């Protein structure tokens, strides 16, 4: 065992010494080990931790957040506006107290607070762009773990020297309640087969991991649609374009494990059954089809006169995309999901949603029908077609 692997085991054991429940993640990944149940397998047993990291010494460390470990973690992601969102909240409510904090491998921050004793739902960008809450039924990556880029997660304020602060009242109020609906109680999951862990790491490329993470649901009711997005993404990869569904079963399992804190239907069979049904229905892999063609044309097209009212090139591009989608649809409304729009212009989905609402308020779009569980929002473009 090399020094790095010793540090991983040492940090995992230190965590259980604090009463935190930990579990192994795939090396250089946020994903659970193959054939494991992620945070559902989390343990405070030192012998269990010794066994896990003996089987897979290079495993990253996952912490089950929420009441089970007594902590709530605020994940600040600067790549999606987290720093700006937190600055705005602190300007309104006052600065957050000094508390245990980590620098993440992806350039963000994890701020740890004592769990308040009531349910704190795990949520994504609910309280602000780039601000995720890792609460009950959530998980976070602990220091000494290695990001896919090779950067090591590190303590900025270690629990060995800094007390964990109580959750500020105003922040707790923002976190309270589920992001959409309420979570069902967890279902029984058979214990992980420990004898298989030494060879149970799924080889997930950065491209695959990015796809698994980017297609995660952010609220209950999105599981079916996001599974279809996963299927489209996998079909776009040459090695899976003509594959049978069973060839990607383990990838879907990783997706399912990561989605557990959010999805209402917890059973693996439901996820796998829906994916198997969706797989042959993919007519246009991600990056192909009518929408991709509309985006390609929009990138080459001149701006409509109305676009001159806006400063951002991304905003202008989105307006051109809407115009091209209307041209495709003829006299009928066109479909556009905010996540699809966000990916097309490289912004987060909350920002894309605000832009579409702004276009509607400005009379450039007409909202014909709001989105449903299985269908995107329908719009009609009202701007200049020139």
Span 291-318, pLDDT tens digits: 888 999 999 999 999 999 999 999 999 9
Predicted pLDDT of residue 194: 29
**Region 77-81 average pLDDT:** 87
Span 209-261, pLDDT tens digits: 878 888 888 777 888 888 999 999 999 888 998 999 999 999 999 899 888 88
**Domains, in order of start, for the chain:** 3-175 (3.30.2250), 208-281 (no CATH), 290-381 (1.10.10.10)
**Region 25-33 average pLDDT:** 87
Span 133-179, pLDDT tens digits: 999 888 999 999 999 889 999 999 999 999 999 999 999 999 884 44
Q: Give 191's pLDDT tier (boundaries 50, 70, 90).
A: very low
Span 266-276, pLDDT tens digits: 899 999 999 99
Task: Say what the pTM is.
Answer: 0.57
Residue 188 has pLDDT above 80, yes or no: no
For residues 12 and 179, give the distance between their C-alpha atoms in angstroms, rounded to a whole number: 30
**Two tokens at 60?**
């990253």
For residues 35 and 253, give the distance between their C-alpha atoms in angstroms, rounded to a whole number: 8
SS3 339: helix
Sign of the Cα torsion 287, 292, 293, 296 reads: negative
Predicted pLDDT of residue 336: 94
Residue 129 has pLDDT above 90, yes or no: no
**Region 72-89 average pLDDT:** 92
Residue 193 has pLDDT above 60, yes or no: no
Q: Give 1's pLDDT tier (boundaries 50, 70, 90).
A: low
Span 353-377, pLDDT tens digits: 999 999 999 999 999 999 886 688 9
Span 330-355, pLDDT tens digits: 999 999 998 889 889 988 888 899 99
Close Cβ partners of 221 (under 8 Å, ≥ 6 residues apart): 180, 181, 264, 373
Alpha-carbon torsion angle 50, 56, 59, 63, nearest 10: -40
Span 86-124, pLDDT tens digits: 999 999 999 999 999 999 988 899 999 999 999 898 888
């Amino acid at each position: 065992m090399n020094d790095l692997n010793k540090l991983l085991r040492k940090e995992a054991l230190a965590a259980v010494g604090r009463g935190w429940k930990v579990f192994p993640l795939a090396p250089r990944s946020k994903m659970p080990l193959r054939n494991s149940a992620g945070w559902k397998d989390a343990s405070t047993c030192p012998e269990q931790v010794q066994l896990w990291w003996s089987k897979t010494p290079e495993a990253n460390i996952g912490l089950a957040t929420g009441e089970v470990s007594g902590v709530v973690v605020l994940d600040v992601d600067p790549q999606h506006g987290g720093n700006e969102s937190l600055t705005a909240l602190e300007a309104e409510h006052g600065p957050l107290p000094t508390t245990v904090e980590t620098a993440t491998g992806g350039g963000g921050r994890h701020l740890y607070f004592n769990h308040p004793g009531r349910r704190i739902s795990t949520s994504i960008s609910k309280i602000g762009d780039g601000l995720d809450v890792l609460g009950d039924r959530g998980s976070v990556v602990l220091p000494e773990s290695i990001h896919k880029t090779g950067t090591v997660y590190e303590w900025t304020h270690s629990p060995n020297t800094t007390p964990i602060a109580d959750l500020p009242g105003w922040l707790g109020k923002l976190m309270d309640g589920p992001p959409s609906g309420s979570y069902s109680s967890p279902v029984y999951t058979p214990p992980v087969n420990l004898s298989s862990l030494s060879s149970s790491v799924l080889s997930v490329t950065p491209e695959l991991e990015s796809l698994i993470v980017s297609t995660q649901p952010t609220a209950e009711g999105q599981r079916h649609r996001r599974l279809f997005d996963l299927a489209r993404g996998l079909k776009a990869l040459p090695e899976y374009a003509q594959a049978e569904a069973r060839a990607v079963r383990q990838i879907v399992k990783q997706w399912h494990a990561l989605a557990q804190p959010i999805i209402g239907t917890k059973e693996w069979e439901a996820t796998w059954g829906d994916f198997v049904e969706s797989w042959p229905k993919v007519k246009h892999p991600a990056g192909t089809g009518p929408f991709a063609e509309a985006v390609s044309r929009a990138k080459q097209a001149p701006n409509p006169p109305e676009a001159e009212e806006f400063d951002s090139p991304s905003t202008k591009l989105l307006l051109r995309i809407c115009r091209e989608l209307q041209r495709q649809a003829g006299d009928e409304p066109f479909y556009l999901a905010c996540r699809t729009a966000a990916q097309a212009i490289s912004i987060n989905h909350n920002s894309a949603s605000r832009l579409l609402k702004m276009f509607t308020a400005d009379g450039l779009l007409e909202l014909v029908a709001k989105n449903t569980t299985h269908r995107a929002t329908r719009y009609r473009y009202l701007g200049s077609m020139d």
